[in-house]
Structure 1
Amino acid sequence: MVVVIEFDYHIKHHFGKLQKMKSVLSSKFIPIFSLFCLVLLSLPSPSLSAHAKCNSDDKKVLLKIKQDLNNPYHLASWNPDVDCCTWYAMKCDRNTGRVIALTIFSGNISGQIPPAVGDLPYLQNLEFHKLTNLTGQIPSTITKLVRLNFLRLSWTNLSGPVPSFLSQLKNLTFLDLSFNDFTGSIPPSLSELPNLLALHLDRNKLTGNIPESFGKFAGNTPDLYLSHNMLSGTIPRSFGDLNFSSWMDFSRNKLEGDASFLFGKNKTVQFIDLSRNLFQFDISKVEFSENLVYLDLNHNKIFGSLPVGLTQLQLQLFNVSYNRLCGQIPQGGKLQSFDLYSYFHNRCLCGNPLTACK
């Protein structure tokens, strides 16, 4: 290895001298030099040998999961004779060989989520995504995954209630249960997740009210996606004290009453979608944050005139159609960049891009 280091040094700093050495080696010591190179090439690469092999207990669990899913072709690489850290749809920790991620998606897989997933104690990331033949309920064994921080069970046909035991997964930062067939009410205990940054419950068949507990999350306020359900009632007044970092989507439900307290000059939320509900409040009294870039209020019962403060926003999307608004659309800012379909079907709204006010 000293020789190799010296060669590397001369390559960088004494190229001319190396050329002379190379000519000597080439003419007099070809057999010896070639043998030396072959020996070096045959040595194992440190980067490859440093990767720990799959833990044998984890390997048994993975093979049980494959069996419970009826040995799908999607998991054909899960060969018991091969190191499982090389298998498709999973990842090992390089140092320990423990399975830390299981990401099964877009495959022709039927059945239910195997309870054995709870027997991968070092799992941090679990995904069953875009598996339309995956049915049944979320197994309670998932609560054993105390290291889990990312859980996505979406675009499947999972059904039943959203289980309250998910609140036991205290390390979760991301929970996505969207595009499923979950029914029943939203469990209030989900607000107890102290590290949650995003909660997706959209595109299900959930009913009932938004839990009062969601007005006070245990940690930071997560981005909240509740759209395309059958939620009803009013938004808890305590939501007025929350500061969503980015997204708030309550669209396409049956929510009603006043939602004006969701807005405010000091809010950090950038995207608000309250469209296709039954909200009813005077928009002329609302103050909007300069952080807001996406505001969709279409198909509600909102009344009053559009406040001039909207002209100060750098809006990328704006829609107040199908409400009960009146008065002139304020001139300036981004408001005239949106077409008439963002404003039409209001009681007496007028001005560019609608017809001129009389």
Structure 2
Amino acid sequence: MKVKMKMTLLPALTLSLFLFLSLPSPALSEPERCNSKDKKVLLEIKAALNNPYLLASWNPATDCCDWYAVDCDEISSRIISLTIFGGNLSGQIPPAVGDLPYLQTLVFRKLSNLTGQIPSAITKLKHLKMIRLSWTNLSGPVPSFFTELKNLTFLDLSFNDLTGSIPPELAQLTNLGAIHLDRNKLTGTIPESFGKFTGSVPDLYLSHNQLTGPVPKSLGNLNFTVLDFSRNQLSGDLSFIFGSNKTIQIVDFSRNMFDFDLSNVVFPASLTSLDLNHNKIFGSLPAGLTALDFQYLNVSYNRLCGPIPTGGKLQSFDLTSYFHNRCLCGAPLPAC
């Protein structure tokens, strides 16, 4: 009888032990990845922005590596990216962003109620590679202190209310791939130093500002890929930007007051997009344009004369690419 009882109890004890071991144990739960110092800083940023609903996931009871707009490094678990995009958020960029020492990417974008100036605390972010503060209502100058961020590869301050001149010190950044200062209220001239970048030669987006004067001749010494100076009040000669040895691909100099003879300009084989509309450019269209693989071309509203060269892609564009010139003629315009 006793033997039978022991045999009956054995499966029950085994099942109980299995169920006990299957219960979750607080001691065995996964530890929080988020660095406690970084978490504290993020909560300070949230408080400084008046605890917006956009950052509702920033709950101190949860792991900050799982929060919206935050990325942690897989090895160190330090915050390396803060990307706040869209939504109803008001206030100024909190200086506390400078207390995330491992940050590589900083984005505040499409936040129409974000105001104030760009805080100098950003200079503490020595690992920063990408900064995008765009489509906001940030005001004040373009800070020269960005030159302290030696690892910066991308600078986007477009679509803001920034005023003042372009700091020539930006040319000291040797790793930049692109500078976006377009769609602001910047005044003054393009810095002479922008023709003296060492290391990387960045794409320059300076359109939709109030820049004046000639483009510095120094820019002709570099091989740019993209130049967009459209919708400013720039003047003078631009022919030095081109040449058979250049590698420029996209050029938009439209809606300025550029005034030079286009007849003998040699365009590089790399050029795929050329927009010169609404200037005071004169002369004729050079025959060399027929050799280029254009994706876009617009020379309308200038003072050009003579026949449009035949061949290549020049006749594939409609008359809007050529009209309103002094005496330009030939397909797609009326015959000469």
Cα distance in 2, alignment partners of residues 339 and 52 from structure 1: 62
Aligned to 2:154: 174
The answer to whether residue 333 in structure 2 is matched with residue 341 in structure 1 is no
Residue of structure 2 aligned with 1:207, choices 187, 190, 207: 187
Structure 2 residue aligned with 1:255: 234
Contact 1:177–1:201 under 8 Å retained in 2: yes
Matched, 1:322 2:325: no
Pair 1:261–1:52, CA change in 2 (3 A): farther
Equivalent position of 2:196 in the other structure: 216
Which whole-Å CA distance do the structure 2 matches of 1:88 and 1:96 have between them? 19
1:353 maps to 332
Aligned partner letter, 1:173: T
SS of 1:102's partner is: strand
Deviation by residue 1:271-305 (Cα, 9 ceiling, x = unmatched)? 00000001111111100111111000000010111
How far apart are the structure 2 equivalents of 1:63 and 1:195? Answer: 32
Deviation at 1:145, TM superposition (A): 0.2
Which residue pairs with 2:87 in the alignment? 107
Residues 279 and 301 in structure 2, CA contact (< 8 A), matched pair in contact too: yes
1:234 paired with 2:214, answer: yes
Superposed, 1:1-358 pairs within 5 Å as: 53-244=33-224, 246-357=225-336
> Aligned to 2:335, what secondary structure does the other structure show?
coil
Q: CA deviation at 1:76?
A: 0.2
Change (3 A) 1:52 1:189: farther
Shift of 1:52: 6.8
What's the secondary structure of 2:54's corresponding residue? Answer: helix
Structure 2 SS opposite 1:147: coil
Cα shift at 1:269: 1.4
Residue 111 of structure 1 aligns to a residue in which SS? Answer: strand
Structure 2 Cα separation of the partners of residues 142 and 281 of structure 1: 42
The letter of the residue matching 1:105 is F
Q: TM-score, normalised by structure 2?
A: 0.91
SS class of match (1:179): coil
- Evaluate the alpha carbon distance shift between residue 299 and residue 64 of structure 1 in structure 2; reply closer, same or farther with a 3 A threshold: same
User: Runs of 4+ in structure 1 displaced over 6 angstroms?
Assistant: none
Whole-angstrom distance in 2 between the partners of 1:315 and 1:212: 30
Give the Cα–Cα distance (whole angstroms) in 1 for the partners of residues 32 and 248 of structure 2.
44
SS in 2 for 1:284: coil
8 Å CA contact 2:32, 2:63 repeated in 1: no
User: How far did residue 218 of structure 1 move?
Assistant: 2.9
Of 63-72 and 162-171, deviating more is 162-171
Show CA shifts across 1:29-88 (max 9, x none): xxx9xx99x989x99xxxx96x97000000000000000000000000000000100000
Relative distance call for 1:300 and 1:78 in structure 2 (3 A) is same
Distance 1:206 1:341 in 2: 30
1:62 and 1:281, CA in 2 relative to 1: closer, same or farther beyond 3 A?
Answer: same
Note the C-alpha offset of 1:219.
2.0
| 1:74-132 deviation digits (Å, cap 9, x = unpaired) | 00000000010000011001111100000001110000000000000000000000000
Q: Within 2, Cα distance between the matches of 1:39 and 1:103?
A: 42
Please give the root-mean-square deviation of Cα atoms over the aligned residues, in Å: 2.3
Answer 1 or 2: which has greater helix percent: 1
Cα distance in 1 for residues equivalent to 2:32 and 2:205: 39
Unaligned runs of 5+ in 2: 1-13
What SS is found at the alignment partner of 1:283?
coil
CA contact (8 A) 1:52 1:96 kept: no
Distance 1:323 1:122 in 2: 51
Q: Relative to structure 1, is the Cα distance of residues 39 and 263 closer, same or farther in structure 2, using a 3 angstrom cutoff?
A: farther
Contact 1:155–1:179 at 8 Å: present in 2 too?
yes
Aligned residues: 322
DSSP-derived class of the 2:179 partner = strand
- Percent of pairs identical after alignment? 71
Cα distance in 2 between the residues matched to 1:124 and 1:39: 43
Q: Distance in 1 between matches of 2:229 and 2:191?
A: 13
Partners of 1:79 and 1:146 lie apart in 2 by 28
